[in-house]
């Protein structure tokens, strides 16, 4: 694709990166066929090729409108289009640039600004945990729509106390400790069972994805730097083998620290090392299976069928499409993998297991009558 950037973007880091990405696109449209928002809405501008054109036009000097902003907002950032693209177009990075450039020129309605601010400041805030605790205490009294967003309190069991020579850092995350604490505790117990000690750095927090993807990219980068600072003593001294992340949206973000901080002279090298050490938990499990299987045999009695949902952040952002689920012994459970290029757009009949805590909720939401799909078809001018 030929490009002629407007003077304001020439010789800027964003302009040069966007231009390099745009020039790889050959307009073939293969990506459109696998885009969930195009499949749902049927509008070229709600597919990757259309959004690429919109971003190109803005970078070439065309004034963006509210409609441009909404077409970019509707992108799920699932990056299915990247998996399909034969030319290696890094759509996700282009979209980040496009969203930032458009938001600088198109003011959002006040209600939307407030909602986005509440999400980006509220979710990673220290106040989220007490708010969740309160919500769980009065869950039965809440309207159904809010109840669906407040999971019942779950028992998390004990954190292992044994020390091991092999150690890993775990990103505890921002909402997971209060919403679904059993995930981090279970992760630590599984790793302990195979002789690996899990360490959580006290000052690490949100991976930065919430702010970054709500277009507060500077706020997201500040959280990335804070995590790097929290992890660095253990990383630089070689005390930990890797940084384990058990939510695929967060592992995708940590693996992208190297790119997000590439222009930061103070943090670029550290970010590169942190990204190289990040592992989604599903990358570690296959090697542990023989030992885990021996310990589980005779203790697990679940004989039902589960639907395994491989999240987009695992399949497309991290390119982890290995069938680790298929390697589980059949006496543990039988997995029914969902069609590999689908996002959480429809719920299967079986109980869902996923590598990202928000995905089962999205599947359930997609199958409910409250699904936002009808509202999303309105196009502003
Ligand atoms: S990231 Fe997903 S929703 Fe966005 S354009 Fe690509 S395939 Fe479509
Ligand atoms: S598949 Fe790749 S090269 Fe083809 S239109 Fe989509 S982004 Fe461009």
Which CATH number is 236's domain given? 3.40.50
Site to substitute for ligand 2 among 27, 49, 86, most atoms within 8 A of C-beta: 49
What are the beta bridge partners of residue 243?
169, 278
4 in a structural domain: no
Residue 80 has pLDDT above 80, yes or no: yes
Q: What's the rounded Cα separation, in Å, for the pair 360 and 247?
A: 12
2 in a structural domain: no
Average pLDDT value for residue range 254-278: 98
Q: What is the pLDDT of residue 375?
A: 42
333 in a structural domain: yes
How open is the CA angle 371-375-377, to the nearest 5 degrees? 115
Quick one: how many helices (H) and strands (E) in the chain?
Answer: 21, 7
Check: CB of residue 253 under 8 Å from CB of residue 212: yes
Question: Where would I find the H helices in 62-127?
Answer: 66-73, 80-84, 91-105, 110-122
Residue 363 has pLDDT above 70, yes or no: no
The ligand minimizing its distance to the Cα of 84 is: 2
Q: What is the pLDDT of residue 331?
A: 46
Ligand 2 centroid – CA 32 distance (Å): 8
Ligand 1 centroid – CA 182 distance (Å): 31
CA-proximal residue: ligand 2, atom 3 (nearest): 25
Check: CB of residue 274 under 8 Å from CB of residue 243: yes
Residue 154 has pLDDT above 90, yes or no: no
292 in a structural domain: no
Q: What is the pLDDT of residue 241?
A: 97
Check: CB of residue 197 under 8 Å from CB of residue 299: no
Q: Specify whether 22 is located in the same domain as 98.
A: yes
Residue 1 has pLDDT above 70, yes or no: yes
Which pTM does this prediction carry? 0.87
Ligand 2 centroid – CA 45 distance (Å): 14
In this predicted model, which residue has the larger pLDDT, 4 or 337? 4
CA 305 to chain centre: 26
Ligand 2 centroid – CA 77 distance (Å): 15
The CA R_g of the chain, rounded to the nearest whole Å, is: 22
132 in a structural domain: no
228 in a structural domain: yes
pLDDT in tens, 81-98: 999 999 999 999 999 999
CA 323 to chain centre: 19
b/e per residue, 186-205, with b = 16+ CB within 10 A?
A: ebbbbbbebebbbeebeebb
26 in a structural domain: yes
What order do you get walking across the sheet with 334-337 strand by strand? 334-337, 305-309, 352-354
**Cα–Cα distances in angstroms (integers) from residue 127 to residues 118, 123, 150, 177, 185, in the given order:** 12, 8, 15, 13, 21
Residue 303 has pLDDT above 50, yes or no: yes
- Going by C-alpha positions, the residue among 378, 373, 375, 376 that lies closest to residue 362 is 373
Residues near ligand 1 with C-beta < 6 Å? 35-37, 47-48, 51, 75-81, 91
Q: What is the pLDDT of residue 159?
A: 97
The ligand minimizing its distance to the Cα of 342 is: 1
Q: What's the rounded Cα separation, in Å, for the pair 158 and 213?
A: 34
Q: What is the pLDDT of residue 6?
A: 97
Q: Specify whether 166 is located in the same domain as 227.
A: yes
Quote the number of domains for the chain: 3
Ligand 1 centroid – CA 283 distance (Å): 24
260 in a structural domain: yes
Please, which residues have CB within 8 angstroms of residue 299's CB and are 6 or more apart in sequence?
Answer: none
Check: CB of residue 1 under 8 Å from CB of residue 23: yes
Atom of ligand 2 nearest to the CA of 1: 8
- State the number of CA atoms in the 13 A half-sphere of 355 facing the CB: 29
Is any ligand 2 atom within 6 A of the Cβ of residue 137? no
Atom of ligand 2 nearest to the CA of 88: 2
Last residue of one domain, picked from the residues 67, 87, 105: 105
199: which DSSP letter? E
Q: Specify whether 224 is located in the same domain as 269.
A: yes
CATH of the domain at 85: 1.10.1060.10
Structural domain boundaries, residue 79: 13-105
């Amino acid at each position: 694709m030929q490009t002629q950037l407007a003077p304001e973007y020439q010789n800027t880091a964003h302009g040069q990166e966007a231009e390099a990405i745009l020039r790889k696109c050959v307009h073939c449209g293969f990506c459109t066929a696998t885009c969930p928002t195009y499949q749902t809405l049927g509008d070229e501008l709600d597919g990757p090729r259309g959004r690429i054109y919109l971003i190109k036009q803005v970078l070439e000097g065309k004034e963006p409108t509210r409609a441009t902003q909404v077409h970019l907002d509707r992108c799920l950032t699932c990056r299915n289009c990247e998996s399909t693209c034969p030319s290696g177009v890094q759509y996700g990075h282009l979209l980040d640039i496009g969203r930032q450039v458009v938001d600088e020129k198109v003011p959002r309605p006040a209600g939307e600004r407030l909602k986005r601010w509440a999400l980006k400041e509220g979710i990673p805030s220290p106040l989220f945990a007490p708010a969740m605790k309160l919500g769980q205490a009065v869950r039965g009294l809440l309207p159904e729509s809010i109840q669906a967003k407040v999971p019942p309190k779950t028992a998390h069991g004990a954190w292992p106390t044994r020390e091991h020579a092999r150690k890993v850092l775990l990103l505890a995350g921002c909402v997971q400790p209060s919403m679904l604490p059993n995930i981090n505790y279970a992760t630590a117990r599984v790793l302990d069972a195979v002789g690996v000690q899990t360490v959580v750095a006290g000052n690490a927090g949100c991976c930065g994805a919430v702010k970054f993807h709500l277009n507060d990219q500077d706020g997201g980068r500040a959280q990335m730097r804070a995590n790097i600072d929290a992890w660095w003593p253990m990383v630089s001294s070689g005390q930990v083998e890797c940084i384990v992340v058990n939510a695929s949206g967060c592992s995708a973000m940590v693996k992208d620290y190297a790119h997000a901080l590439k222009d930061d002279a103070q943090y670029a090298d550290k970010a590169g090392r942190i990204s190289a050490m990040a592992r989604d938990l599903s990358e570690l499990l296959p090697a542990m299976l023989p030992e885990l299987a021996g310990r589980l045999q005779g203790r697990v009695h679940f004989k039902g069928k589960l639907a395994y949902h491989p999240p987009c952040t695992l399949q497309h952002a991290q390119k982890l499409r290995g069938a680790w689920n298929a390697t589980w012994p059949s006496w543990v459970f039988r997995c029914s993998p969902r069609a590999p290029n689908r996002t959480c757009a429809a719920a299967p009949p079986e109980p869902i297991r996923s590598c990202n805590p928000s995905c089962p909720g999205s599947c359930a939401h997609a199958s409910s009558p409250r699904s936002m799909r009808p509202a999303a078809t309105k196009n502003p001018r």
